Amino acid sequence: MKCIKSISGMKNFSRMQHSQGFKIGFVPTMGYLHKGHLSLVEIAKRNADKVVVSIFVNPTQFGPNEDLDRYPRNINRDKKILSGMGVDALFLPSKKMMYPEGYLTYVEVERLSKILCGASRPKHFRGVTTVVLKLFNIIEPDIAVFGEKDYQQAVIIKRMVSDLNLNVRIFTGKIVREDDGIAMSSRNTYLSSDERKRAAVLYKSLLLAKDLVKSGEKNCKKIKNRMKKLIKSEGGKIDYVEIVHSESLESLLSIEDKARAVVAVWIGKTRLIDNMQLK
Ligand code: PAF
Going 191 to 40 to 70 to 120, the CA torsion angle's sign is negative
Phi, psi of 10 (to 5 degrees): -65, -45
CB of 30 shorter than 6 A to ligand 1: yes
State which H helix or E strand residue 129 sits in.
Answer: helix 124-139
Distance from residue 257's CA to the centre of ligand 1 (Å): 28
Residue among 150, 157, 175 whose CB has most ligand 1 atoms within 8 A, to mutate: 150
- Residues 48, 24: contact at Cβ < 8 Å? yes
CB of 36 shorter than 6 A to ligand 1: no
Bridge partners (DSSP) of residue 2 are: 89
Q: State what percent of residues in the chain have pLDDT above 70.
A: 100
Residue among 91, 124, 131 whose CB has most ligand 1 atoms within 8 A, to mutate: 131
86: left (phi over 0), alpha (psi -120 to 50) or beta: left
User: From the candidates 34, 37, 124, 245, which is the catalytic residue?
Assistant: 37
Bridge partners (DSSP) of residue 50 are: 24
- Residues 73, 57: contact at Cβ < 8 Å? yes
Confirm or reject CATH 3.30.1300.10 for domain 186-277, answering yes or no.
Answer: yes
Q: Is 37 a catalytic residue?
A: yes
Nearest CA to ligand 1 atom 2: 29
Structurally, at CATH architecture level, domain 2-173 sits in 3-Layer(aba) Sandwich (3.40)
- pTM of the entire predicted model: 0.98
Phi, psi of 100 (to 5 degrees): -65, 165
Nearest CA to ligand 1 atom 6: 29
CB of 29 shorter than 6 A to ligand 1: yes
CA dihedral 36, 42, 43, 47 (to 10 degrees): 160
pLDDT tens digits in sequence order for the chain, 279 residues long: 999 999 999 999 999 999 999 999 999 999 999 999 999 999 999 999 999 999 999 999 999 999 999 999 999 999 999 999 999 999 999 999 999 999 999 999 999 999 999 999 999 999 999 999 999 999 999 999 999 999 999 999 999 999 999 999 999 999 999 999 999 999 999 999 999 999 999 999 999 999 999 999 999 999 999 999 999 999 999 999 999 999 999 999 999 999 999 999 999 999 999 999 999
Domain regions of the chain by residue span: 2-173, 186-277
CA nearest to 171, candidates 203, 192, 142, 214: 142
What ligand 1 atom has the least distance to the C-alpha of 128?
A: 9
CB of 129 shorter than 6 A to ligand 1: no
- Burial class of residue 64 (count of CB atoms within 10 Å of its CB; 0-12, 13-18, 19+): exposed
What ligand 1 atom has the least distance to the C-alpha of 147?
A: 1
Tens digit of each residue's pLDDT (9 = 90 or more) over 78-88: 999 999 999 99
Distance from residue 268's CA to the centre of ligand 1 (Å): 23
